[in-house]
Amino acid sequence: MAGTDDLVLHVDGSRPVSPAVVEELLSICDRAEDGYGAGLLTVYVSRAPLPGWTQGLSVGLLTKWERAVRRLERLGLVTVAVAAGDCGGTALDVLLATDVRIAIAGTRLVVPSGGDATWPGMALYRFARQGGGAGLRRAALLGTPITAEQAAAAGLVDVVVEQADQVHAEIAAAAGTVTGSEVAIRRQLLLDAGDRSYEEALGSHLAACDRALRRQATP
C-alpha cells in the first residue's frame, strides 16, 4: 500500500509501553523531521493490551510515551492511520494522534482495563476533544468497545472501508501537494480551537493568513 519513499510504522497495541516502544515512535519522528519520505507518514495500528499489561509501568515512562505521541501529533507532514481489528493501548493512542484515520471494517476501538477500571490515559482526553456521544462515555467509563461505524459517527475515524488501498492512495496524492511546515500550522490552529475563544484565536489565524500571503508573493 505505502510507496517506497513513504514513512511507515506498525504499532502493536498488545505491546505495553516500554523504552523500546517509545524509541520506535521517536525514531520515526526523527526521520520525518529530517525530511525523509514523500510528505506522508502511515501508521498501521492493531491489537489491544493483554491482561497484566500495566506491570512494570511507571509515571516517568508514561510521560516519555505521551511526549512521543505529542511529537507525532505535531509533525510537519501529514499522518494517516490504518486501523484493523481491536485497537487499544499504544495503538489507540497513536491512532488518535494522526491526521487522517482509515478503519478496516470490523475494527473496534478499545479502552483497556487498568485493573479495577478503564485506563485513565490521554486517549480519554482525545476522546473528549475529538468526538462525542454516549458511546464514547461508555467506552471511557465502562470499557465498552467502539465499533468502526460508531467511531466514524463520533468523528474519531474518517472512513470505514473493506480495503484501505484506494483511500490511502488518494490521501498520499493530496499530501504530496502541501508543504509540511504549513500543514503543521493548520493542524495547530485546529488543535487550539477547542479551548480558545474567537477573539483569542483571531490573532493566530491572521498571522497564518499573513504568512500565506507572503509566501504567495515570494517569486
Per-residue pLDDT tens digits for 136-175: 889 999 999 999 999 999 999 999 999 999 999 999 888 8
Distances (CA, A) of 119 to 39, 89, 164: 33, 9, 29
What's 2-14 look like in SS3? CCCCCEEEEEECC
- pTM for the whole structure: 0.87
What is the rounded CA–CA span in Å between residue 142 and residue 147?
A: 15
CA dihedral over 24, 45, 186, 191, signed as positive or negative: negative
Per-residue pLDDT tens digits for 173-214: 888 888 777 888 888 888 888 788 989 899 999 998 988 888
What is the rounded CA–CA span in Å between residue 31 and residue 80?
A: 16
Per-residue pLDDT tens digits for 44-74: 999 999 999 999 899 999 999 999 999 999 9
- Residue 196: per-residue pLDDT: 86
In this structure, which topology does domain 7-175 adopt according to CATH? 2-enoyl-CoA Hydratase; Chain A, domain 1 (3.90.226)
What is the rounded CA–CA span in Å between residue 18 and residue 16?
A: 6
What is the average pLDDT score of the chain? Answer: 90
Per-residue pLDDT tens digits for 70-91: 999 999 899 999 999 999 999 9
